[in-house]
Amino acid sequence: MDNNKDFLGTQPIGRLLLKLALPTVAAQLINMLYNIVDRMYIGHIKDVGALALTGVGVCMPLIMIISAFAALVGNGGAPRASIYMGKKDTDTAQKILGNCFSLQIILSIILTIILLIGNKTFLLAFGASENTISYAVNYMNIYALGTIFVQLTLGMNAFITAQGFAKTGMLSVLIGAVANIVLDPVFIFGMNMGVRGAALATIISQTLSCIWVLSFLFGKKTFLKIKPENLRLHAKIILPCVALGSSLFIMQASESIISVCFNSSLLKYGGDIAVGAMTILTSVMQFAMLPLQGLGQGAQPIMSYNYGAKNNDRVRKTFRLLLKVSFGYSIVLWAIVMLLPQMFAMMFTSDNDLLSFTSQALRIYMASMFMFGIQIACQMAFNALGKAKDSIIVAVMRKFILLIPLIYIMPAIFKANQTNAVYMAEPVADFIAVCFTAILFAFEFKKAMKENK
């Protein structure tokens, strides 16, 4: 088994990155397809499709926060487990896995109770109206019961990918996605359950994924196994994991806050069409980001393992390759968006007014996209090397220090077209954030390589 474990430290980096990144990119795209198909089915419920879709849409900030808690534990613990695998300290790596498993169960129980008691209050705060609140509550009441399966699937799957089992990690997502696509029409239309059926299909699908993930981590093929003796929480084991996962938690949880800031500002200056366009812009940005995140997740086990093994040369080579591929992808995608914005807008709407408005807004909103490969590569590398403080600084800088204030500052400066000024907040924040991240990374990476000898 030890020989097999060492493939992260011995196989050619290019081939290894391709082998690990392709399944993680595929998993990200499958996950997005799963969400889009879900919304398509709900939107076609007879007579009430539009209201039902809006109601379920209001649930998205809550669902994103649930996912953020899974990232807090899973994406914080998994890189640390990889580092200890590189150090040949399997015992500590397994203690990290066991502690993260326990913490996810505890968080799931707390989140389930909070959601069942207070979901109506949260949903009204996130923009549900009298017309849509019943659909939103019906969806969340059932979804809340499956919180534990969502948490364990997302969080524990990170430990499968972190060991280099990228295909197994992809299958975790694929099982849930296929089950959801099959079960959705059965429950929504066949059993006439409406949005309740969509929620039930989702939690059954997540349960199947969860069974797959846990059967692997309790099974014989895994290098790191969940063992009863490692389930008791220890502060010195779990706190560094939570610290490292905090940056991803901030990034994911803050999306709901940023969405509210953007929508309220756009409604003020541009009305419903500007808010409608924003939904499309964020969908295109999410679609653009998924391959970058998948690449970063594919590179993370290689960097973490070799950093733990003090093989600095492989860490440097992996980062350089990740940076080149990510930067190249960003430039190509940015060029396509700038040349053919209408093509992306048409994926989400056929309304001529919205199409025309969105095409112009997309060029503004994604103006700094060409640089974003640098941001993601550096951010993923910080996580891979266990640099919690730097990872948190980068996440807070982009979202809270730059983007949220700029949403309100830009329209005050550019009064001639305040709607476009709101959209400009994104590229201005991105440009400053990428410059800041690149400078911080240059110093911190050099320092980390010097200390890791």
In a domain, 77, yes or no: yes
**pTM of the predicted protein model:** 0.79
Element (H, E) at 205: helix 195-217
Which of 33-47, 297-311, 354-368 is least confident?
33-47
- pLDDT computed for residue 409 by the predictor: 94
Band of pLDDT at residue 337, cut at 50, 70 and 90:
very high
DSSP H helices in 166-194: 166-185
Residues 307 and 369 occupy one common structural domain: yes
In a domain, 384, yes or no: yes
Residues 255 and 196 occupy one common structural domain: no
Residues 73 and 204 occupy one common structural domain: yes
Helix (H, G, I), strand (E, B) or coil at 170: helix
- Structure confidence by residue, pLDDT tens digits, 89-120: 999 999 999 999 999 999 999 999 999 998 88
Residues 81 and 198 occupy one common structural domain: yes
CA–CA separation, 213 vs 219, rounded Å? Answer: 10
- Structure confidence by residue, pLDDT tens digits, 35-71: 667 767 777 777 776 677 767 767 877 888 888 898 8
Cα 3 to Cα 80, 280, 449: the distances in Å are: 21, 48, 26
- pLDDT computed for residue 1 by the predictor: 36
- Structure confidence by residue, pLDDT tens digits, 376-421: 999 889 988 988 889 889 888 988 899 999 999 999 999 888 999 9
In a domain, 238, yes or no: no
End of a domain among 181, 199, 233?
Answer: 233
Residues 90 and 146 occupy one common structural domain: yes
Nearest to 102 by CA among 229, 222, 210: 229
CA–CA separation, 357 vs 336, rounded Å? Answer: 18
In a domain, 80, yes or no: yes
Residues 6+ apart with CB under 8 A from 397: 433, 436, 437
Structural domain span for residue 97: 11-233
CA–CA separation, 297 vs 291, rounded Å? Answer: 10
Residues 182 and 262 occupy one common structural domain: no
CA–CA separation, 309 vs 312, rounded Å? Answer: 8
Residues 225 and 304 occupy one common structural domain: no
Residues 114 and 175 occupy one common structural domain: yes
CA–CA separation, 135 vs 32, rounded Å? Answer: 22
End of a domain among 207, 233, 259?
Answer: 233
In a domain, 66, yes or no: yes
In a domain, 240, yes or no: no
- pLDDT computed for residue 277 by the predictor: 78
Q: Give the CA radius of gyration of the chain.
A: 22
Q: Averaged over 115-128, what is the pLDDT? A: 82
- The answer to whether residues 328 and 373 touch, using CB atoms and an 8 Å cutoff, is yes
In a domain, 5, yes or no: no
In a domain, 241, yes or no: no
Band of pLDDT at residue 361, cut at 50, 70 and 90:
very high
Q: Averaged over 300-325, what is the pLDDT? A: 92
Which of 279-288, 334-343, 358-367 is least confident?
279-288
End of a domain among 233, 260, 278?
Answer: 233
- Tokens 């709101």 correspond to 422
Residues 369 and 225 occupy one common structural domain: no
Residues 180 and 260 occupy one common structural domain: no
Give the count of domains, the chain: 2
- pLDDT computed for residue 404 by the predictor: 92
Other CB atoms within 10 A of residue 30 CB: 19
- The answer to whether residues 204 and 179 touch, using CB atoms and an 8 Å cutoff, is yes
- Structure confidence by residue, pLDDT tens digits, 173-199: 889 888 988 998 999 888 988 889 988
Residues 256 and 395 occupy one common structural domain: yes
Residues 148 and 202 occupy one common structural domain: yes
